[in-house]
Structure 1
Amino acid sequence: MPGVYLVLTADEAYTMVAISEERLRVTMTRRDEVIGKRLFEVYTDDPSHPDAQGVAALRASLQEVVASGRTQRMSNVRYSLKRPDEDGGGFAEHYWDVINAPVLGADGKVRYIIHRAEDVTQLLQSQEHTRNRLRQSDERLNAALLASGTGTFYWELASNRLDMDVAMQRLVGLQGAAELTLDALLQRVHRDDRPGIIAQCERCADLGEDFEMQFRVQLSRAGLRWLFVKAQTFHDTDGRQSYLVGACMDITSHKRTEQALHRLNETLEQRVNEEVAARASAEAALRQSQKMEAVGQLTGGLAHDFNNLLAGIIGSLELIDLRVQQGRTGELARYLEAALGSASRATALTHRLLAFARQQTLDPSPTDVNGLVAGMMELLQRTTGPLVEFHNEADARLWLTLCDANQLENALLNLTLNARDAMPHGGRLTLATGNESLEQNAASRFGLAPGDYVTLRVSDTGTGIAPEKLSYVFDPFFTTKPLGEGTGLGLSMVYGFAKQSGGGVHIESSPGGTTVRLFLPRHFGEIRTSIVQNEAPCIPERRQGRTVLVVDDEPNVRMLVVEVMQELGHQVLAAACGAGALERLGEAREVDLLISDIGLAGGMNGRQLADAARRARPELKVLFITGYAEEAVLERSGLHLDYEVLVKPFSIQALEDKVQAMFEVN
């Protein structure tokens, strides 16, 4: 849209969001100096500033636009341009006629204000010059000079005679007319504007008011032309109204601009909404593309690792089948060992994925991180080798934290191994603990909630991580190690464990080394200790003949658990869902142990089944077997555990030991 304009937000800030090139040229400013700035950061309303009065009027006009929703006009607003004056210093004074037009939203409220200004400095200067000349010479001559460069006229009230200069005649289409009168002029005025002009003329003649009006004239070729007329009434020596002297200005372009602003007002909201919708759609498509890329990397890494593991398992089982058919059973142990080894690595890979997804089953307890680190030092030193020099900086007043100690040990071992691999020729590895209380700003930097945290810091003097790779180190299957040296799940497991425990991880790296800080939330309780008996431990004999109810909707798992329980000499009941299990409980005279999956089909999960069973059998022991954590289900009752958990996949020996231990507890 041509013109000298600004687009402002309709709030107290009046932020400048758009500006015309003409406005930049006239004010000798750059777009980056104004866009995004508050209007009154540029137009200062400091009372001591020479422009303060005009700026205050501008503020009032903008407030009226927001309050009324109507266009506001201002005349002769002073604003000094940042341009040297003729003396080479200071700023040149300029005056502006201003139109502040509202842009309404769909709700009818003012959303933006279009601030259009016209430099009328020369006009005002000309008027001032004319007023000075009027004091020295003929009033009619001074009136002609009032609007130099525009049409001027002289209207004698007594004779109703009009005297127009050539410019004025051209504006109203009366050039070459034999006689110029008010009636001749009214014939050119648009019929809708005639009553207003007549009323104004009567007030000038009767009351001596000045004339100021906008009206349209109908021209034969040029069509409608908008004119702005301003005239002053002069009196004779007796004080009676004698004549008017005035000037006429073509404001057709101004009116066209107003119409354009009106059309913009009607369509701007729709165009803005369309642009926002298009941008949102593009951003959503980008996020989906990035998500699919991450999923592709994840599934590709999983497929690669599991294919290797499944090849070992399937190949070993096929060889076992072949050797059994051949009667060569003496070679089975080697193949069984290979299959079990691949299965164990698959189990470890699954646990790492669950850790990254924050879906692993955790057993949190109050933990002394200093004690845990001290207990692992011998293992860590043996693992890293003699080339790595260890430093342990433990905070003597370290708080407790609530976490799964076994998972914290795995995390520390992973971080230590990464540090060792970053120092192939040796170096220094520092383990440090500390307490940190994070306020809002500091917590936001680490992606944490404000609060107290126990920190475990692992620092090395190794090669460091390239800056472009640092943001990817917690992604699954991403590794900075050479191909075949690392699965890319170590740091992702540490990240998932920390997040699932209510904390987080922060990494910093440079060519001189890497520092990883593990944040774990502070625990205000005490460490639970068990009573140590002085006597030698007594290994109780296996007690058989118990009744066990096994519930799992996976037939193979259910069959495995049933057979293991039968091997232990227990009587076994089995069910595939919660409803079937409750029927078995109702039929059985006695049930000593419930072994159940947590995620069951049929609308009842394992915890709901256990709660229902214990209402009928309060002393019933419960063992949950699960592959991931469901926080809403795995709730603790009171201060003690009301169940035991065994994580899938598990070995037969682990199942036997867990069940036997539960039966040995009174």
Structure 2
Amino acid sequence: MQSPDFRRLFECSPGLYLALLPDAPRYTIVAVSHAYAQATMTRPDEIVGRGLFEVFPDNPGDPEATGVRHLRASLERVRATGAADAMAVQKYDVRRPEAQGGGFEERWWSPLNSPVFGPDGHLAYIVHRVEDVTEFVRLQQQGVEREKLTDELRQHAEAMEAGVFLRARQLQQVNERLREANAEVSRLLEKTRELDRLKSRFFANVSHELRTPLTLILGPVRRLLASQPPPAWQAELERVEPNAQLLLHHVNDLLDVARLEERALRPAYAQVDLAGLTRLVAAHFDSPAQEQDLRWHVLLPSALPALVDPSKLQRVLINLLSNAFKFAPRGGTVRLALRQESDHAVFEVADNGPGIPPAWREAVFERYGRLHEGAHARSGSTGLGLAIAREFVLLMGGSIRVDEAPEGGALFVVQLPLCAPAGMPVAEAAPEQAGLAEDAQTIVRALRAEVAREATPPLGEGPLVLVVEDNADMSAFIREALRAEYRVAAAYDGKQGLQQALALKPDLVLTDMMMPFMSGEQLVQALRSRREFDLTPIVVLTAMADAEARLRLLREGAQDYLIKPFAVEELRARVGALVRHKQAAEALRHSEESWRTLFSHAAEGIFIADREGRYTEVNDAGCALLGRPREAIVGRTMADMLPPEEAGRLPAARAEVLAGGIDDREWTMQRGDGSRVSVEVSSRMLPDGRWIAFARDVSERRRRLEAAEEMAEELERRVAKRTEQLRALAAELEAAESRERRKIARDLHDDLGQTLAAARIRLAELCHDAPAGVRAKAREIAALVDQADRFTRSLAAQLAPPVLYELGLLPALEWLAEEMGRQFNLLVIVIDDAQPKPLSQEARSIVYRAVRELLINVAKHAQVNKASLTLRREDAMLLARVADAGVGFAPAAPGEAPAQGLGLRSVKERLAFIGGALELRSLPGRGVEAVLRVPLALHKQGGTNS
């Protein structure tokens, strides 16, 4: 069916309609019905594309004309409220064409303005509908008796009168709703202002609090650098100092934002040579320009005296130049120019980067906005630089705008008055700017860490790890951490990382999230779209603690993620486990390929069928045996290959196979050309429920039977071998994780615990011998140290509870129940049947962690403060039952597995490693019962009682 022509329907409708863009104050006409054009004595092709009030102005001969004012107010209400707006009857004269004598003709209208929203929910158009009530109004004014009208005119007038009254009633209702909405908007506006004030105070407080620890970091680091430490220490300190300085710069930005919010900043005017100050700022960018091979143009007059705030102007220029250097491509162009226009100084900062689309040119100056989100996003930006630049320019009475540069990228233009406002104090000379020079050096160092770099080839020995990170310092840090065990290559943006991955085929990819040209998420998607990277693990480094974003990355193909900041030991452990897993998976794939080769080249016909008996695979020998192409066999059953007299033997053969036996029978089968062949078929069921059949000519019965038996045994060995490899890999991963947990717990307990103990001893002296004021503070700090010590011991115990390894499972679970009460206020009742329950150390650890995961789920989701844990022995099995009477969940549909999160899936997988299983039962409002079934170690060495 052909789609209707909606534009044609609109234009030919009998009503009087205009379609307008909501581009106030112009309100461009984009469509007009023929009836409207006829009523207003216009032509559609003459008014479409023009502004509403340009086409329909007020009658200049009527000094009391209000049509434009009232109509504009109605359209503004539609834009503000998103609701239709009915207007009272309006006098709005229309212009007669010159062919009809020109001038204006008196008209009366009953208008209704309605919003039309686009797919994104934003206002796309406004439909302006009117009814011409001129005749009705004129008749009322002239007092003509209704009886003198014709029936048709009377009906038309009555209909118009009813419409006028209805519109008046609607207008009254709309006005009432508008008053209520205005009151609500005023209340929300005041609430928003209060939130802004609270936010400003919060940023100011946080900035002040952060400056103290940063000072205590920078001071000792600089002293150590000045003391000429060993080369290895010096390299680490030289990495710490600029990054701490960069953090201090960001803190200062936050503090400036808070001061700007509170109107606490004032310009400090001084007599300045703008050319000299600009030349000083530009000098800091000479080295980055050389490193990026940029054409760096600085166009300045010999001198340009002015009264400005030099510190704020320097901050403005530094922020604009750092932005230009970030987005200019290698080998590109950056231009800084200064000139005088009348009584203003004009600065221009231009580049040939990606530029800024017109729709973003106001948004880039908003606080916390990110320039070039998506493809060109960089991780080093706080979104404050351009916002602060604009605020500083406005403080000095100037203006700033962004446009398209002649070079092709972004052009920032700053205009500043050369004189200070009247009455403002002015210093005779600019103060020393040493601090600002240090700030400029900080920005330049950060810029060097972010600018595009050439990818580095692999260095070191071992499996190949590709590090994709746009910050040079972070990239070097990660590579140094991994270089002892792996070959490491580096890329500095997502696009470069994809090229490196395609060229090097790494064993693991470690990628940042926010990078230029291609984000980490886009890199994951690009790699997962290529089959050659199916087995390549991807680890994502992210500073975002957003659970939804992490789950999305895992679903899109990332194997793991690390949240910055992270421990080097954790990075090495996760990389090591994933690389070993890939190597094992590649070995399995090689084994599968070997089996596929063997299958394809076997001399006997091999048929593999699904559970229903439909062939899914057949080798070349099978096709030759039946004289049929592969597509004529796949999807069919054996019954389709037999003559009618043979079909009666199938049920017995099927029963034999379903009973677990091997069915050896001779069959007469039909070939593709209609001939028949006598074959012996050996059929059996595979462990996964599929069928496999080996077919051979009876004439070579013995030889082919032996080959078929060898093939079947080889298949069983391969399946068993793959299964054992998977189990061994799973056990290795579980053991590695357990060792890592115990190591981390020991480190927490021994190192951090001893440190806290030493702190407690030293504080004890202050608590007794120091002056009263110091003593009180020392006691507060001592209390915090005690709290940290308790938390450290609790965390270490939860990671690897000593009681589990020293006393057994039951004491560990009783301790866990006490911990759940302390941490989550969850009362856990432990019940044990007192029977011996020997378990291996691995099984005890897995059961303990599974119970802990289940109890945490109860504490977080069940909405109860009580649960039970029951341990009992049934024959050779341990049954651990965790139950609550909470909200529960709806059972899954028949044939469907219940919805389970990552935690429960992990529990089931770990239990499967030791032959165990997890059962979940629940109904909404009746709580959840989880039962763990674990085989006991009755005949194994190393088993201990629970």
TM-score (norm 2): 0.27
TM-score (norm 1): 0.36
Return the structure number with greater strand share: 1
Indicate the structure (1 or 2) with the bigger Cα radius of gyration: 1
Q: Which has the higher helix share?
A: 2
